[in-house]
């Protein structure tokens, strides 16, 4: 056994398992299976040209040495990113714990109660700090959250405003520069006109539907926005506020000023800067806007016994239902990061947050006072953590960088300095010494706070926050550790069993890939640090872009999008820019097959495109003739086709090159959704099938963990004609020669977690990632062969093969009174998370085993599904008190004194022998979705709130 082979550790099936698996499938070799699965005309003719394979040990040394080429300076840059202290109890027990980072989005609430509680804590924290009524389970970053606020306010315009096409949106010039860039990107395609200006000089008129303010301003100035918001409200202008969450501990919350939406980032609540991400944004609004709010909301409901149970609320807002009518394409959140930020508030509590905020403001006030005494005058009339001083920027920069310190240089004579929770008096004295040297004066030291508030007393926060018990109970490490463990035990993650989710690719997130995320040379870098300080990041990111270019066959890559849906949008926006650069502004028609992911039409609508749906044939394939007919019909307006390959139905369609050629012949471009890229890598690629741009889900194909619903990374790869339009950033030079404005706030998006995918490719190499694809196809077809006698397989390729996933048709079981949701819940009793339920076809299960599951686990899952099939046969439609309808069965049920069900306790809890060896107990019975939506509660409310009137 080659013990230093990473592929040996990543790939599940052993060499000795292959004969059994191939015999079960009915092929002689793995190559024969691949031949029968992927059309020959799109197969790559030669291996991928990637650098040599690294062992885990080699990679650990490589990434450590590369990290040391980054220069970790003290950062006072600010602009929405701050050094933080990650509490070790949170770092070790959540951030570095596979029980938390390998979990899936909590669609199956009964086995996700721990994570749901942690997110509910986050929502409560946001609601109370912002002074708003409702908050979601996080968004991707502050800048895109601000864009979502603009979209919501546009959507909830009054009837008269919509009738009169009121489309102006005021943006304060105090807004963060990266946020302005994202607003510019998002506004133009949907017909919103941005007006940037000074909020103190703004003329309120009926031409505006909304406005956004920054609190405090981008360089730290604190404004009282109450009068602005009142005047805006009087003019039927709704106001969003982008707020610093730590400042809300001390300052009047925007909700108390009358804001309609409050957004921001929770990065400074114990999340490393990570060169820009991942960080959980927050989004809070009024309850009346709950059905227009983007993203997901965690709500309180009850289970079948009437006990409190949590679940994702208002799921009818999902894009799969609204499609092109959706106002947002958001389909994920930054769950792992929001859990950490929420736990930061739990661990510190309101008094701890007060201490941190007081320390930050005290240090800023002390520094301002000292610099004034030195003759360096501070110009902000009110501030929380950021001061602005007048000095020779070039001289200051030279001496500061000599002392390994970064400030933000606004212009040649203006410098901003942002204070954070890591600052000590020694750091303040170092800053004083830097300016003293610039002025040629004697430095002096301070050792006590200047005890004064440098913001108006009128803005001093008076309302209480974080009064719930959860924020006032777990302040010792012992109690915090046990609370986190209590929640972890309620969640089924990859460290317990396979999560065979079709389209979601829950594969191994190897420890060797994850460890660098905890290294300070990687996680403490500010995204706007000077380029000569980020040599390691630059090399790693450029190499990752090159690796993805090689894998996709394309010429250029941007890593900026923070999710797959953002990648879709970025790809469409580059296509839009390409057509406009050629004077083809009329090319706005986007063809989308009926089987497409729901985010596809939502993304196209956000990009200002007109969606035309093309038909799908009975065998699940795209109707080529319908595509041809519509491409010709809209020849002069055709912008693009959005296509998923292999298809959403888990099939390699043999007509794909004909389809892409039809689009090109009629003047359009092809966007390929990369959700199923893990069935292509090393065997075919988007360039070969004729695509012009694709997005990749690094959290699927390239091993970034799902983290309970995020982080995700959705880079786009493009051909040469689209390279010039790759997105830019206002503060760091990235993107093409004709770059579109920013897609997200940081130049490289969630740069920190890109290390995971970089490691995945480096340690697997060309041969390893190609074998990963082959084994994903092998595992899927092995499961298909075992299950097809028991469940109808809805679609398969021309030679009867699945790609990397398959769809089990469960609709026929309705004659027995069994729904697909009953199968999903019963799987919990067998120790498994359900496959994807009712997507892309209602009443089905989409199963994807991935390459990293071994044969033993595949067999256990198949045995469970076969046993459930027998239970279905035993069911009767007129007798619904059965083991499927009552699933899942909790420990409380099994240990109760009485048992009145018409089957044994053993059948309920231990249906197969293997279950008793590793039993997972759902913590609640089946959750009542309807009750939760009828009684929407999205925070840690007191028990009285759960009682129906």
Which pLDDT score, from 0 to 100, does residue 946 have?
A: 39
The predicted pLDDT at position 942 comes to 55
Short-list 17, 1, 13, 22, CA closest to 785: 22
| Chain mean position to CA 107 | 15
Closest Cα to residue 76, out of 419, 403, 404, 378? 419
Q: Kindly tell me if the per-residue pLDDT of 709 is higher than 80.
A: yes
As to burial, measured by CB atoms within 10 angstroms (0-12 exposed, 13-18 middle, 19+ buried), residue 624 is middle
* pLDDT over threshold 80, residue 319: no
Give the closest residue to 145 by CA, choosing from 254, 291, 321, 266: 266
**How high does pLDDT run on average in the chain?**
95
pLDDT score at 931: 81
With a cut of 70, say whether residue 317 has pLDDT above it: no
Confidence of residue 595 (pLDDT cuts 50, 70, 90): confident
Distance CA 622, CA 802 (A): 16
Query: For position 597, what pLDDT does the model report?
Result: 74
Instruction: Provide the pLDDT for residue 636.
Output: 97
Predicted local distance difference test score (pLDDT) of residue 487: 98
- Taking 90 as the threshold, does the pLDDT of residue 452 lie above it? no
For residue 214, the SS3 value is strand
The predicted model gives 286-310 an average pLDDT of 93
Strand partners, 386: 418
pLDDT of residue 15: 94
For residue 266, give Cα distances in angstroms to 225, 278, 362, 524.
Answer: 22, 11, 21, 16
Greater pLDDT, 929 or 85: 85
Measured CA to CA, the distance from residue 554 to residue 686 in angstroms comes to: 8
Mapping DSSP to helix (H, G, I), strand (E, B) and coil, where does residue 416 land?
Answer: strand
CA distance 391 to 378: 10
Tell the burial category of 201 from Cβ atoms under 10 Å away from its Cβ (0-12, 13-18, 19+).
exposed
Tell me the backbone φ, ψ of residue 406, rounded to 5 degrees: -115, 125
Here the tokens at position 778 are: 């092998």
> CB of 367 within 8 A of CB of 415?
no
Between 321 and 303, the higher pLDDT residue: 303
The secondary structure of 429-473 as a DSSP string is: HHHHHHHHHHHT-------S-----SS-GGGB--S----SGGGGT
Cα dihedral 32, 37, 41, 43 sign: negative
Which is nearest to 126 in space by CA: 211, 244, 240, 229? 244
**Closest CA relative to residue 280, chosen from 344, 215, 353:** 344
pLDDT, average across residues 37-51: 96
Q: Please tell me the predicted confidence (pLDDT) of residue 216.
A: 98
Query: Could you tell me the pLDDT band of residue 943, with boundaries at 50, 70 and 90?
Result: very low
pLDDT in tens, 69-89: 999 999 999 999 999 999 999
Its sign, for the CA torsion 281, 300, 238, 383, is: negative
pLDDT of residue 599: 85
Backbone angles phi, psi at 585, to 5 degrees: -60, -20
C-alpha span between 305 and 926 (Å, rounded): 9
- Helix or strand holding residue 18 (H, E): helix 18-25
Mean pLDDT of 297-314: 92
Q: Which tokens go with 155?
A: 């959507």
Instruction: Report the distance separating Cα 33 and Cα 102, nearest Å.
Output: 30
Q: Is the pLDDT of residue 322 over 70?
A: no
Burial (Cβ within 10 Å: 0-12, 13-18, ≥19) of residue 669: buried
Predicted local confidence at residue 936, as pLDDT: 78
Using an 8 Å Cβ cutoff, are 200 and 396 in contact? no
Position 588 pLDDT exceeds 90: yes
pLDDT at 932: 76
Query: Sorting pLDDT into bands at 50, 70 and 90, what band is 944?
Result: very low
Q: Could you give the percent of the chain with pLDDT greater than 70?
A: 98
395 SS3 class: helix
Residue 406 pairs with which residues in a beta bridge? 75
pLDDT in tens, 85-141: 999 999 999 999 999 999 999 999 999 999 999 999 999 999 999 999 999 999 999
Beta carbons within 8 Å of 286's beta carbon, 6+ residues apart: 132, 133, 134, 260
> Mean pLDDT, to the nearest integer, of 568-576?
97
The pLDDT tens digits of the residues spanning 229-283 come to 999 999 999 999 999 999 999 999 999 999 999 999 999 999 999 999 999 999 9
* pLDDT of residue 576 exceeding 50: yes
């Amino acid at each position: 056994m080659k013990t230093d082979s990473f592929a040996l550790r990543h790939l599940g099936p052993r060499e000795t398992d292959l004969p059994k698996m191939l015999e079960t499938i009915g092929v002689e070799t793995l190559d024969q299976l691949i031949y029968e699965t992927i059309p020959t005309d799109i197969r790559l003719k030669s291996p991928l040209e990637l650098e040599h394979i690294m062992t885990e040990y080699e990679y650990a040394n490589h990434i450590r040495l590369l990290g040391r080429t980054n220069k970790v300076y003290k950062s006072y840059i600010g602009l929405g990113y701050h050094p933080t202290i990650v509490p070790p109890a949170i770092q070790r027990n959540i951030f570095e714990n596979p029980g938390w980072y390998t979990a899936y989005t909590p669609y199956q609430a009964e086995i996700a109660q721990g994570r749901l509680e942690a997110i509910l804590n986050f929502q409560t924290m946001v609601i109370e700090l912002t002074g708003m009524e409702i908050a979601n389970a996080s968004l991707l970053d502050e800048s895109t959250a601000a864009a979502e606020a603009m979209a919501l306010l546009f959507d909830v315009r009054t009837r008269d405003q919509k009738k009169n096409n009121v489309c102006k949106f005021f943006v304060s010039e105090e807004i963060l520069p990266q946020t302005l860039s994202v607003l510019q990107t998002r506004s133009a395609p949907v017909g919103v006109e941005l007006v940037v200006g000074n909020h103190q000089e703004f003329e309120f008129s009926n031409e505006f539907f909304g406005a956004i303010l920054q609190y405090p301003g981008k360089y730290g100035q604190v404004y009282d926005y109450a009068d602005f918001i009142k005047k805006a409200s009087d003019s039927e202008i709704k106001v969003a506020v982008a707020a610093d969450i730590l400042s809300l501990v001390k300052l009047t919350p925007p909700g108390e000023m009358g804001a309609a939406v409050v957004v921001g980032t929770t990065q400074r609540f114990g999340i490393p800067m990570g060169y820009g991400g991942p960080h959980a944004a927050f989004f809070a609004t009024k309850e009346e806007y709950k059905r227009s709010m983007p993203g997901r909301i965690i709500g309180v409901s009850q289970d079948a016994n009437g006990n409190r149970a949590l679940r994702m609320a208002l799921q009818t807002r999902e894009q799969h239902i609204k499609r092109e009518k959706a106002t947002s394409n958001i389909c994920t959140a930054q769950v792992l990061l929001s859990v950490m930020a929420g736990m930061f508030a739990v661990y510190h509590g309101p008094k701890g947050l007060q201490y941190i905020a007081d320390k930050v403001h005290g240090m800023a006030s002390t520094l301002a006072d000292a610099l004034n005494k030195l003759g360096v005058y501070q110009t902000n009339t009110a501030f929380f953590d950021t001061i602005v001083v007048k000095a020779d920027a070039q001289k200051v920069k030279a001496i500061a960088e000599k002392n390994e310190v970064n400030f933000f240089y606004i212009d040649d004579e203006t410098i901003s300095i942002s204070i954070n929770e890591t600052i000590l008096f020694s750091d303040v004295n170092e800053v004083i010494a830097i300016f003293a040297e610039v002025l040629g004066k004697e430095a002096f030291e301070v050792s006590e706070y200047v005890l004064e508030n440098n913001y108006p007393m009128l803005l001093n926060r008076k309302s209480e926050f974080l009064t719930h018990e959860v924020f006032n109970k777990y302040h010792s490490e012992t109690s915090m550790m046990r609370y986190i463990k209590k929640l972890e035990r309620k969640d089924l993650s990859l460290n317990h069993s396979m999560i065979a989710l079709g389209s979601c690719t829950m594969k191994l997130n190897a420890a060797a890939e994850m460890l660098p995320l905890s290294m300070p040379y990687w996680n403490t870098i500010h995204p706007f640090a000077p380029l000569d300080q980020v040599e390691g990041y630059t090399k790693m990111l450029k190499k990752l872009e090159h690796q993805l270019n090689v894998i996709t066959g394309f010429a250029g890559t941007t890593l900026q999008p923070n999710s797959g849906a953002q990648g879709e949008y970025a790809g469409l926006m580059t296509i839009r820019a390409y057509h406009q650069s050629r004077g083809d502004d009329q090319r706005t028609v986007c063809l989308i097959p009926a089987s497409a992911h729901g985010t596809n039409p939502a993304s196209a609508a956000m990009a200002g495109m007109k969606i035309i749906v093309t038909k799908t044939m009975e065998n699940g394939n795209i109707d080529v003739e319908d595509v041809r007919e519509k491409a010709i019909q809209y020849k002069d307006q055709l912008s693009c086709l959005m296509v998923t390959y292999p298809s959403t139905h888990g099939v390699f369609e043999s007509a794909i090159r004909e389809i892409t050629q039809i689009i090109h012949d009629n003047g359009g471009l092809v966007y390929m959704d990369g959700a199923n890229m893990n069935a292509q890598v090393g065997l075919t690629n988007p360039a070969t099938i004729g695509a012009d741009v694709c997005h990749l889900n690094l959290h699927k194909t390239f091993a970034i963990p799902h983290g309970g619903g995020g982080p995700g990374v959705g880079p786009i790869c493009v051909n040469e004609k689209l390279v010039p339009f790759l997105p830019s950033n206002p503060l760091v030079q990235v993107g093409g020669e004709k770059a579109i404005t920013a897609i997200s706030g940081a130049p490289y998006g969630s740069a920190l977690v890109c290390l995971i995918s970089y490691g995945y490719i480096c340690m697997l190499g060309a041969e390893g990632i190609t074998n990963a694809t082959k084994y994903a196809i092998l595992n899927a077809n092995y499961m298909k062969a075992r299950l097809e006698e028991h469940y109808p397989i809805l679609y398969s390729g021309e030679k009867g093969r699945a790609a990397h996933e398959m769809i089990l048709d469960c609709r026929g079981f309705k004659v027995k009174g069994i729904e697909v949701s009953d199968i999903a819940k019963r799987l919990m009793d067998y120790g498994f998370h359900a496959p994807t339920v009712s997507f892309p076809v209602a009443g089905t299960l989409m199963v994807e085993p991935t390459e990293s599951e071994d044969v033993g686990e595949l067999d256990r899952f198949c045995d469970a599904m076969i046993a459930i099939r027998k239970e279905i046969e035993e069911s009767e439609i007129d007798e619904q008190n059965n083991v499927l309808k009552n699933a899942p069965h909790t420990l409380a049920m099994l240990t109760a004194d009485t048992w009145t069900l018409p089957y044994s306790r053993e059948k309920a809890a231990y249906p197969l022998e293997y279950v008793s060896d590793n039993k997972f107990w759902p913590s609640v019975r089946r959750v009542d979705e309807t009750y939760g939506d009828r009684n929407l509660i999205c925070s840690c409310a007191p028990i009285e709130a759960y009682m129906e009137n």
